[in-house]
Structure 1
Amino acid sequence: MTEGHVGSRPSGAGRSGEIPLPRPLSHIRVLDFGQYFAGPLVGMMLADLGAEVIRIDPPGGPRLHSPATDMLSRGKSSLTLDLKSSDGLATALELVRRADITIENFRPGVMKRLGLGPDELRAANPGIISLSLPGFASTDPGLAPVAAWEAVIAARTGQFSDMGLNRRLMGINPSFTPLPLASAYGATFGAMATLFALGARDRNGGDHIEVPLASALLEGLVYNCEQIEDYPKRYSSAREIELDRREAERLPCDLPFSELERYLDPFYRTYECADGRGFFVGAAGVSGHPQRALRALGLEELARSLPDFDAYLDQKDWPAEWSMRNSPVGERDRERLAGVMKAAFLGRPAREWEEIFGAAKVPGTLQRSTREWLSDPHALASGLVLRVSDPRRGDMRQMGNVAWLADDSAAEKKRPGPTLDDASSRLPAILAEAPRTLRGGAESSGWLEGLRVVDLTNVVAGPTIGSTVARFGADVVSVQPVEPSLDPWGAVTLGVHAHRGKRSALLNLKTHAGREALEKLIVGADAVTMNCTDSQREELGLSIERLRTLNPTVILVQVDAFGGPRRGPKSDHLGYDDLAQAATGVMVRFGGGLATPEEHAHMGTIDVIAGLSACVALGAALERRRRTGQGGVARTSLAAAGNLIQAPFMFDYPGRAPFSEPAGRETRGQGPFYHCYQALDDWMFFAAPEERRVALRAVPDLADLAQETEENLGAALAARFATRDVAYWEKSLAGTSSAVIRIGSLRATRAAALVAESEGEIDLAQATFRVVRHDRHPMGRWIDLVAPNAVRPERGRVFIPGDAPKYGAQTREVLRGIGYAEERVNAMLAKGEAGDSWSENYLPE
């Protein structure tokens, strides 16, 4: 949820007379043992940032035979090794001695059995950073042995259940989606962690990092797991109120899709345009956005007539039913507003509205399919989608960088994956190199201890950067305006997670004194984080040149909506999570077609991963600064993150098979061997994508079905699975490369993993899932939040960040820290140049 714009100069446009900086990771060698998605995604991200990545293939080549494998292999060289042979193992260990990072995503114990476990790797190279991406935690006795296919992880964690308010009101549960969220979140955590660990090798030495994909998935869905005690009803949407009513009156949830629109907020929904195309508006909850939306539609008089007052008043003090500064729209005006806006949108085609809304700085976008996005003029112009001349597939278009540095001129010079350089020809030269000698220390410290961050972000994607680096020891100061632009839901309800681990100060950057205080903070900082357009940054007096003048080594970490390494037609357009979903094809995929787009059900789907992607960019910038002493601009965007969560499908070329992967609300799976089935007692997911009929023959109760035709097999399996309970089928396939898993829910996962902070020290590394009840929270209510346990290093320390303070709680402390006397601080507070609170209560009632 961030506003969007790309850099003020194209990628690689340096200042006159400067010597180009090296690529951020050009000094790093990576051995990528990964298969399928999670491991190769990490390797691709690091290769895109300049690392030398050698893909280690088993005899017979990669396990995933798909054009996606070609895309994920860009920038890598390949080497075939039989790791089960003594020669293959010996060669692998010699490569480890000359590498910096290893990546694998096998089941727990596989690398150990091959002779490449963490101890063996560190014996060969004490400075190695080894990354493991198992499906479930290796320390989880119940889940570690499970064949953790992507959908198995999703099903167990709760990704397929209660998928959003629409699906709940329609009574659709479970609902399959092919989006590989676990691999996408896990890979981004993994890439970030390896880069942060590299920077701490002088203290900690080498490190082994485990990122269980299921743990990463639950962290990615943190805002769907958040619970607040006695949560005020003023924040409930019309859909939530209707769900509560039906539950209280024991009414069925069976609404048809056509009836859902009367429960949608007028400023947060899709409208049909003159050409029949959908246009998504996301203009709720930010001061000024609803008014701008109405003015863009030619409804100026209506904009002036609607209530507009301080959203941070308690509801008892409201002068009207709702305020345009606060979502949701009140019941009295909801249908009237939606009707007028629907009529207005029918006056123009969707592409015209996209141009009008973009120019007016209103968050709105044409609904696109994934295929349309891959050919979109902005996606291609900005580098969010790359054109690759592929010898096997011709003119191939594929997802662009996930993270980049603005002055990395080589960021788009990719080698196409299918004709990877064969590393075997270079193997003698590599093995002739001297082994790495870095040993470093043997401390157990946070990777980012000593890092000072000034956080100027809001909502979710931007603040995720600061809350993430805080868990690794960074000192983060959040600077917010004296007068909030976000409503309490966006700032406080989401902020209890997004701003945890930070100190909070309120400064009025429209005043000289407020800007001066900010600049003093920047002078002493290592990084500044922002989610805003470049023009907004310029208005604050924070041009790239000004930042360099204040602090030549500072790193600006910037997140926007539609930014890429180059400028494009939508570079200045604003946007939030749902806007990126609409623009890149996620909504159309989830809803099942252009006529029925739906927001991906789990809130923050793109926001969280965009914040983590920004941390990858920060890690690369820190690594380059460590070598060169130079700061820079580290970037990502919501649209780039939208590409990432669709990675298996983000390619197109002449003759490509139809984009026919599962989509829509009735989807249960991808064929009979990868599907949700109803057992005797509950729903379960059956995954046998490789063994297929071999898996059926291995189970006595299913063996006869191996003879069924593909056409009849789905129905036959459904009937057979319904005869026994889930536990029976789980046991039947245990220990194989196939699996049955009970379909969980986020609610059940949260409840089973919950521990209270008042009970004492919390172990983050044992179970796959961990949720903490913060029962000493400054809000005065308990709050349940997913624990920061996706990243599990052996040597690096991970901290549970402190509770997000009330906004402005540390303003005095922060100002004193930059040398202001108490008298000066008091004067700034009195003049409104600084502030110490937005509201009487932590969360307005």
Structure 2
Amino acid sequence: MAGALDGIRVVDFGHYIAGPLAGMLLADQGADVVKIDPPGGPRWDTPANATWNRAKRSITLDLKDAEDLETARRLVAGADVVIENFRPGVMDRLGLGADAMIEANPRLIYCSIPGFAADDPRAGMAAWEGVLGAATASYTNAGDGLARADNPVVTAVPISSSYGAFLGVVSIAMALNARERDGAGQRIEAPLFDATFAAIGSAGLLVHDPAKRSPDRSAGWVNQYECSDGRWVMFHAANQRFIDRFIDKVGLDDWREEGLHLSEEVAEDPEKTAELLRRMTALFKTRTAKEWEQLVNDALVCCSVIYESSEWMREEHARASKQVIEVEDPGYGTMLQPGVNPRLYGSPGEVRGPAPAPDADRDEVLGPWLEGAPEPAGPPQTRLLRKALEGLKVLDLCIILAGPTCARTLAEFGAEVVKIDDPNRPGGVRMHNDVNRGKQSMLLDLKTEEGRELFWKLAEEADVVVQNLRGGRIEVLGLDYEELRKRNPNVVYGSINAYGHEGPWEERPGWEQLAQAAAGMQARFAGDRPYRQAFPINDYGTGLMGAYGVALALFHRQRTGEGQHVKAALAYTACTLQSPFFQDYGGKVWDELRGQDALGWNPLQHLYRASDGWLFLGATADQLPAIGAVEGLEGADGLEGDALRDFLAERIAQGTADEWTERLTAVGAGVAQTRTVRELMTDEWVQDHGLSLTREHAEIGLVTTNGPSPRLSRTPPEPGDPASKPGADAREVLEARGLSEDYERLLAGGVIAIDGVVAS
């Protein structure tokens, strides 16, 4: 079977991470991608190019040469999609900018993925990943709740670049859907700085009234623990049901008698919290990490050994689930790489070959590829859409973060989303105000016969259904894809889980912390103990990858009339997020940045403490003479290695962050001062551009959330209304479908609810 993007022609001008990664995500789904590099090959010589450029065609062009520039224009004229991630204005100056290219090819979808947006005051700055990490609080926020404003830590995971790629391909897939319906292309801008707000997510959420905030009740029930063999596990029993299962499995009846199993009571009592942590610490030292992993998962509670990435790549489940695959690379031999993400089962993606050598496909690209370009289309003749998914209906059965983020993204692009939650779920609707904006809320008991009957009435006219119950649970309810397609054959059905949809871990429950533990993120970020990365990057990233898969499936449905099953997983995304170093091959050295003392990759890509705060310097070796001419840094150009790092640290400490930012950016370096999440969410530019939204929410008052970041010229995403009170839209949902006569009966019978469920 052909991939969803079979026949879609892409010209990829990308460099470093974001652009090439976006091109890879399109190529994996069947797109015909031509990678354009400068003479000599990619700007960054890294083994990761074998991942990012797999299955692409390669040609090298000097865009400063008139003949090569004209070749580039001809390639773009025959393309469906262009990807570029230069600084704003570069492609315009070359005559390859979006406006000119879309005028020549009105069906063209032109995706720019710059570091900073064209209207950002920093648009001309060199937006290195480290610069973006400092600017977006990625180095001052830790997933374990540790404040690092005075002790930032650089992470090897390229959060901003990856999220720029994710939102770039989501936007491209949405634009293809719109083009299939109305014939017109458009311009997309997915800046890396802006894209990072999708990763910040719940860390930026603020309920302004302290009395309305939900307390953290996890205490010692969500934590890393050292085991008898010195290895660590990530243990996660986030609700009372998980806690009770664990206590029963391990035989801790005395804990129950003492009330240590009651998560809310323990969390509210510092002495009980300390006692629980003491006992859990001692308990986990009675077995090995592998023994705990098996025992806890046998109890249907969440636990993973904290693996190194090198271990995970060879773990049985990672291979069986194809989140790690083998590619025969001409330069590296048999190489392990991240697998296809997401998975479509009616138009499956695949890695169709290794990365080519630079310029290996010149003759083919300039011959058959160019000759096969369709004739340029005229202006679209039909009514232009306002929203890419206008008129499509989605049912969202998901919980917590990843699944609801998928459906929220569909809502942002115009789908009508009904969020269905269980009125009896312990803890209420988690993260509701973050992930459920733009949706209608309905509380429906799917464990009742009447609840399932109502679901079927809604599902039979749905275009998309999304669920993220652990493997096997949706089948127990009888609401799985195979059952749904009997009633609605053309439905697109999205399934999201923790570890992947094949392999021995398929039915294990899991959360963000578990994906970070399994795939190597926590081990890499460890100090005296493992730590979680900043932000729920796998949850939100998987939500975006799920939305990408659904959009691809909808595009495929437009072209063929066929629905299908789409699957995404936190572990798939964890592999993709680590793409700069997530390869294994003969002679591989795992030397990526790691640990709690990490401040940078080299002296010119490094965090430095100024007299009043921290800043990240991003520069290249050929800029060192200019840096050495900066006031206060005279002589830097005669140094290298540790001597250069120590010199810069000593000198920068003598001035303010503002002074150094002004001096260093004046000579072309990229510089960003570290920021906290709260500083970001209250930044005037961020608020003016809709990345931070403060709006009134029913019954709880003002709430600050993030907003959508991609910019599409014709079908822009919108944040939608603030999240409704859970259950508030049930009557409206039923009335819109001619079912209003059932409302009072279902409400009286407890099948639906409109009160009594908290949004936590």
Normalised TM-score (structure 1): 0.85
Partner of 1:616: 548
Change (3 A) 1:337 1:721: closer
Q: Which AA in structure 2 matches 1:501?
A: G
Is residue 2:734 matched to residue 1:815? yes
Partner of 2:650: 719
Partner of 1:380: 319
Contact map agreement 1:99 1:436 (CA 8 A) in 2: no
Is residue 2:715 matched to residue 1:784? no
Contact map agreement 1:93 1:124 (CA 8 A) in 2: no
Partner of 1:801: 720
1:631-672 deviation digits (Å, cap 9, x = unpaired):
111111101111122221111112112x22222222211121
Partner of 1:510: 447
| 1:832 to partner: Cα distance | 1.5
Partner of 2:375: 435
Please list, as runs of the form range in 1=range in 2, the aligned pairs for 1:580-595 lying within 5 A after superposition.
580-592=515-527
Partner of 2:531: 598
> Distance in 2 between the 1:575 and 1:754 partners?
37
Is residue 2:751 matched to residue 1:833? yes
| 1:90 to partner: Cα distance | 1.7
| 1:28 to partner: Cα distance | 0.7
Please list, as runs of the form range in 1=range in 2, the aligned pairs for 1:171-250 lying within 5 A after superposition.
172-201=150-179, 202-203=181-182, 205-232=184-211, 235-237=214-216
Change (3 A) 1:721 1:583: same
Of 202, 205, 227, the match for 1:273: 227
Please list, as runs of the form range in 1=range in 2, the aligned pairs for 1:564-575 lying within 5 A after superposition.
567-575=502-510
Q: Secondary structure of 2:368's partner?
A: helix
Change (3 A) 1:626 1:444: closer
Q: Which AA in structure 2 matches 1:290?
A: I
1:198-236 deviation digits (Å, cap 9, x = unpaired):
111143711000011101112320211111112238844
1:323-360 deviation digits (Å, cap 9, x = unpaired):
44788474343233333333332332211222222232
Q: Which AA in structure 2 matches 1:28?
A: I
Q: Which AA in structure 2 matches 1:522?
A: A
Contact map agreement 2:208 2:702 (CA 8 A) in 1: yes
Please list, as runs of the form range in 1=range in 2, the aligned pairs for 1:126-165 lying within 5 A after superposition.
126-140=106-120, 142-163=121-142
Contact map agreement 2:142 2:532 (CA 8 A) in 1: no
Partner of 1:355: 294
| 1:436 to partner: Cα distance | 4.2
| 1:726 to partner: Cα distance | 2.8
Q: Which AA in structure 2 matches 1:785?
A: T
1:85-107 deviation digits (Å, cap 9, x = unpaired):
22212212221222111001110
Q: Secondary structure of 2:395's partner?
A: strand
| 1:114 to partner: Cα distance | 1.1
> Distance in 1 between the 2:650 and 2:271 partners?
49
Gaps of 5+ in 1: 1-20, 239-263, 309-322, 756-761
Change (3 A) 1:532 1:422: same
Normalised TM-score (structure 2): 0.95
Q: Which AA in structure 2 matches 1:516?
A: E
Q: Which AA in structure 2 matches 1:572?
A: E
> Distance in 2 between the 1:644 and 1:682 partners?
33
Q: Which moved more, 1:667-676 or 1:128-137?
A: 667-676
1:135-162 deviation digits (Å, cap 9, x = unpaired):
111012x211111111111112222224
| 1:368 to partner: Cα distance | 0.6
Of 473, 493, 509, the match for 1:556: 493
Please list, as runs of the form range in 1=range in 2, the aligned pairs for 1:693-704 lying within 5 A after superposition.
693-699=624-630, 701-704=632-635
Q: Secondary structure of 2:701's partner?
A: coil
Of 214, 220, 236, the match for 1:282: 236
> Distance in 2 between the 1:730 and 1:442 partners?
49
Is residue 2:41 matched to residue 1:42? no
Q: Which moved more, 1:410-419 or 1:40-49?
A: 410-419
Change (3 A) 1:630 1:329: farther
> Distance in 1 between the 2:141 and 2:461 partners?
46
Change (3 A) 1:843 1:416: closer
> Distance in 1 between the 2:274 and 2:366 partners?
68
Of 536, 539, 558, the match for 2:476: 539
Percent of aligned positions with the same letter in both sequences? 35
Q: Secondary structure of 1:635's partner?
A: strand
Q: Which moved more, 1:341-350 or 1:621-630?
A: 341-350
Of 550, 569, 575, the match for 1:643: 575
Change (3 A) 1:177 1:542: same
Change (3 A) 1:818 1:628: same
Q: Which AA in structure 2 matches 1:773?
A: T
Q: Which AA in structure 1 matches 2:446?
A: L
Is residue 2:76 matched to residue 1:122? no
> Distance in 2 between the 1:110 and 1:329 partners?
56
Partner of 1:771: 692
> Distance in 1 between the 2:283 and 2:473 partners?
29
Q: Secondary structure of 1:648's partner?
A: coil
Contact map agreement 2:149 2:674 (CA 8 A) in 1: no
Change (3 A) 1:708 1:307: closer
Contact map agreement 2:91 2:97 (CA 8 A) in 1: yes
Change (3 A) 1:79 1:329: farther
> Distance in 2 between the 1:668 and 1:550 partners?
56
Partner of 2:246: 293
Is residue 2:438 matched to residue 1:501? yes
Aligned residue pairs total: 757
Contact map agreement 1:203 1:445 (CA 8 A) in 2: no
Contact map agreement 2:433 2:759 (CA 8 A) in 1: no
> Distance in 1 between the 2:378 and 2:541 partners?
32
Is residue 2:565 matched to residue 1:633? yes
Contact map agreement 1:753 1:771 (CA 8 A) in 2: no
Change (3 A) 1:697 1:335: closer
Gaps of 5+ in 2: none
1:281-330 deviation digits (Å, cap 9, x = unpaired):
1111x34111112223232553476488xxxxxxxxxxxxxx44788474
Q: Which AA in structure 1 matches 2:309?
A: T
> Distance in 1 between the 2:585 and 2:634 partners?
40
Contact map agreement 2:293 2:304 (CA 8 A) in 1: yes
Q: Which AA in structure 2 matches 1:187?
A: A
Partner of 2:412: 471
> Distance in 1 between the 2:676 and 2:425 partners?
35
| 1:729 to partner: Cα distance | 2.6
| 1:777 to partner: Cα distance | 1.6
1:70-117 deviation digits (Å, cap 9, x = unpaired):
111111111111222222122122212221110011100011011110
